[in-house]
Amino acid sequence: MMVVVLGSGQLAQMTYLAGVPLGIQVVAVDPVNNTVVHPVEKNILSLSVSDAFNQAAAITAEFEHLPAALLTQAHATGKLHPSAEAIQTGGDRLKEKHLLDVLGINNCAYVPIFTVDELDSAFASIGPELIIKTSKDGYDGYGQFRVNDAESLASVKTELAQHDFKRNPLIAEQKSKFDREVSLVGARNGQGEIVCYPLAENLHFQGQLRVSLAPAPRVSDSVQQQAEIAFKALAEKLDYRGILAIEFFQVGDTLLVNEIAPRVHNSGHWTQQGTDFSQFENHLRAVVDLPLGRSHTSSVTTMINLIGCEKTIALQVADLGGHLHWYGKDVRAKRKVGHVNFTANSVEDSIQQLKAVEALGHANMFPLIDKVIADLSA
């Protein structure tokens, strides 16, 4: 059985590794040159994209911003899971916001922006603190602009004076005074079976996810239920198959959806060691319509992203008892090159693991470790 992943990065690599025990062959499509490659070794395989699609039991995607022609070709096979609609919705904040509104799912107040002058009315109606986001192509803090007052509004307008609003409209979103960021990863298969994982708490630095804690500390049953209700509503509306990630802002006991991701997700990497069935295995199970694995967890898991980190440092971190997942990429600033999962029997043990990471002295590589320790100690 073959599954084709559109995209050939680390998510395709980890999906491949999850497929081996299931007897599922995973191949990847490099969307830059439209070739079929081995997801780990990256060598070009003797298959055309058309041949791979014909042989596949299912086609899926590791990111939303795919070339239109490739997505259309995959959709035409009837094997694309999740659907082209779901992938396009996750890659377009205007479509995403519309869907959330239709379903009555709480999200931040916003105004669509189609010309630079419309920023003035957005500032007047939902400002003064705004996050301006491109509707497409934004990730890891890119494609975002912050407005705090009239002076910064003028600066952002100048910066966006040449922006192509027709190709890529903006959203002006009211800045949320949230307590923390959490995310839920869940799976749905073709039979409508749903499995949701516990909420994870996510900590960001300079727009990038740095650490996930799972299960998130101090989550009430009602908050977990809110997240699962949102997941079910979205998954059923989209007739979804695969893993869907939902990022939330938590404000008191209320969750506001920040964004959705129609794929396996960085904030779900903790499931590789923290649960019985990882997000990658359940994604494959869902797209080929196998029964889903349970999301039970009996440990405290901390996922630490390795960003701009040399492998020698990554190995030092892993030597402290973590599980290293190295992506095989060239190291450069702000690039995710791997992650480490630490599992512990208790919060106290998890704190000791993080203190050991902190003691390595690479504060620039792990800028939030002290904050995580304080959060777990609260």
What pLDDT is attached to residue 86?
Answer: 97
CA-atom Rg of the chain in angstroms: 21
Asked whether residue 140 carries a pLDDT value surpassing 70, the answer given is no
Looking at every residue in the chain, the average pLDDT score rounds to 95
| More confident of the two residues 377 and 18 | 18
Q: Mean pLDDT across the stretch 254-259? A: 96
Helix/strand/coil for 357: helix
CA distance 308 to 258: 26
Asked whether residue 324 carries a pLDDT value surpassing 70, the answer given is yes
Could you tell me if residue 209 is left (phi over 0), alpha (psi between -120 and 50 degrees) or otherwise beta? beta
Asked whether residue 310 carries a pLDDT value surpassing 70, the answer given is yes
CB 160, CB 117: distance < 8 Å: no
- CATH code, 109-174: 3.30.1490.20
Q: pLDDT-derived band of residue 136, with 50, 70 and 90 as boundaries? A: confident
Considering only CA atoms, which of 284, 274, 245 is closest in space to residue 339? 274
- Which DSSP category does 168 fall into? S
User: Looking at domain 2-80, which of 2.40.30.10, 3.40.50.720, 3.90.1150.10, 3.40.50.20 is its CATH number?
Assistant: 3.40.50.20
CA distance 160 to 258: 23
Residue spans of the domains in the chain: they are 2-80, 109-174, 180-377
CB 252, CB 260: distance < 8 Å: no
What pLDDT is attached to residue 207?
Answer: 85
pLDDT digits (tens, 9 = 90+) for 80-102: 999 999 999 999 999 999 999 99
Q: Which fold has domain 180-377?
A: D-amino Acid Aminotransferase; Chain A, domain 1 (3.30.470)
Q: Count CA atoms closer than 13 A to 342's CA, side-chain side.
A: 26
